[in-house]
Structure formats: structure tokens, C-alpha cells
Amino acid sequence: MRQGLLLMMGALLLGGCVQGRAREVQREPSATGAVSEEAFKALHTLRKDAPPPLQGEEVEVAGTKAYLSLPQGVQGPLPAVLVIHEWWGLNPHIKHWADRLAAEGYAALAVDLYGGKVATTREEALSLLKAVDAGRAQQTLKAAHAFLQSDSRIQAPRTGSIGWCFGGGWSLRAAMAIPELDAAVIYYGNPVTDPKALAPIQAQVLGIFGTQDASIPPETVQAFREGLDAAGVRHYILEFEADHAFANPSGERYDGGAAAGAWQQVAAFLDQHLRQ
């Protein structure tokens, strides 16, 4: 059986996913509560007054600031997720993602690969992205992973990574560099397709892409799938009829149906590989 499984979910659940083999997703509700797509969207609606409050705290990892969000009323050991920001940087949107994961029962640590800088324009974002030192970024991710395993509040027995766009690519690269990871979620990140480069991955990989994404077209997604197959990496690839950045409620290309469908799959994937 082909390891790269293209999943099809019904239109009522997904709001549009390309055809493939169907798989019903079921998961128990979180003991700490959960954040629906509608509630999550409300956190990111552009507004003139103060944004909704964050639930986590600032910590220091490898000499840089990071954002840690923990489930309320739950003590470790906790499954944990390494959260990697988009090309905008570690902004409130990504911190709310960490809070969303904490509401699902995970210790979520959002790293900062931009050294405290946050972009507000595409030009700034591109400049910050180009300035990232790959070696230093990898060191930060390894240090963050070690933090999740060693911090007395967490002591994670299982760990995963998740990222979007720039962060999606780094979520994949984290899995390549950190064999202890159990799961890696890649939201429309630029993929690596070379089987030799992908071979060190021990984590289960979930890739989420949009068929209307001009920067990562379907043929690139197919090459990624084939590279993972050749490397023997266990994986699932989902493709939604949506554009790049469709899961960002604060962006112009947000697609609520696709975002809700993707999150349902992500939550089930993390539950399966980090808690069961």
C-alpha cells in the first residue's frame, strides 16, 4: 500500500478537498476545552481595540525569546508541540495558535527565528526571511525541543512540530534534524523532495497544501510525496481547494471551510501520534 495517503473528506466537513481515498476522523474531546474554527477566527479579526488576551508566557530558549502556552489545570508529563511562525515572525497570530494547541492539552512552545523582529509588510517579511541563518535556526529548534523534554512543568514523553509557510518548511526541517520528534505538521511549507535529505526523518509527517497555491503547485506536492515514499517516511498528504495561507484568519486568503477541515485532521493526527 502506498504510504502517501491522499485523504478525501466530505464537503460538509471540509469545504473542499481534492479527491482521494476517504478516511473518517474521530477523536475524543479535549479535557481542557477546545477552540472551534469560528472562535479561532474571531481571535484574528483585524480590530482597532486591544486584541484578545493571550494565555501563555514569555520564556527564553537558546538566548532568544519564545512563547510558552500550557493547558490549564493539567500537570506534566505533557505531550508537546514545537510551533514555528510564518514569514511575518512570532506575532499574536502564532501565539494564539500556541494557545489553541494548549486548549487541546499540549504544551506548545512557539519559537522565534527572527530574533524578536516582526514584519508588518510583505517587504519586511521577505527581508527577515532572507536574513535567517539556517544553522542558528536549527540550533534554536533543537534547544526548544530539549526545553520541552526537560522543563519540569512539561517533561514531554512525545513531541511534535507544526508550522505555516516559512514555518511549515522549518517544521519539515526540524523533523530532519531532530530524530526524536514523533510527528511533524507542515502547512503549505516549501518542501524538500530529495529522498536522501528526507531519510533521517523518524516522525510521522502530515503535509497540508492548497491546490491553488502558485508558490507550491500540485506537481511540487507530488514530488514531495514521491520523495517521502522513496525515503521510507510515514506520511499523509492533504490537498485542499484553497490558496496559500488559507488557514490564517488574519490574512486575505483565509478559507474558513478548508481551515476547519485541515484543523480537524491536524488535531486527530497529533492526538494519534502524541497521545495514543
What is the chain's mean pLDDT, rounded? 85
Q: What is the DSSP letter of 3?
A: S
Segment 239-261 shows an average pLDDT of 91
Segment 100-122 shows an average pLDDT of 94
All three cell numbers of 22, joined, read: 476517504
Task: List the one residue out of 144, 156, 182 whose CA is nearest residue 74.
Answer: 156
Portion of the chain with pLDDT greater than 70, in percent: 81
Segment 193-205 shows an average pLDDT of 98
Q: How far apart are the C-alpha atoms of 230 and 218, rounded to whole Å? A: 18
Q: What is the pLDDT of residues 62-87, one digit of tens each?
A: 899 999 999 988 888 999 999 999 99
The residue with greater pLDDT, 211 or 10, is 211
> In terms of DSSP bridges, do strands 107-111 and 57-61 run parallel, antiparallel, or are they unpaired?
unpaired
Torsions phi, psi for 151 (to 5 deg): -60, 135
Burial of 134 (0-12, 13-18, 19+ CB in 10 A): exposed
State the Cα torsion 154-72-34-243 to the nearest 10°: -50
pLDDT reported for residue 80 = 98
pLDDT reported for residue 250 = 79
Residue 11 — pLDDT band, cuts 50, 70, 90? very low
- Prediction pTM value: 0.84
Q: Give yes or no for residue 208 having a pLDDT over 70.
A: yes
Q: What is the DSSP letter of 123?
A: H
pLDDT reported for residue 251 = 79
Look at residue 31 and give its three-state secondary structure: coil
Maximum Cα–Cα distance across the chain = 53
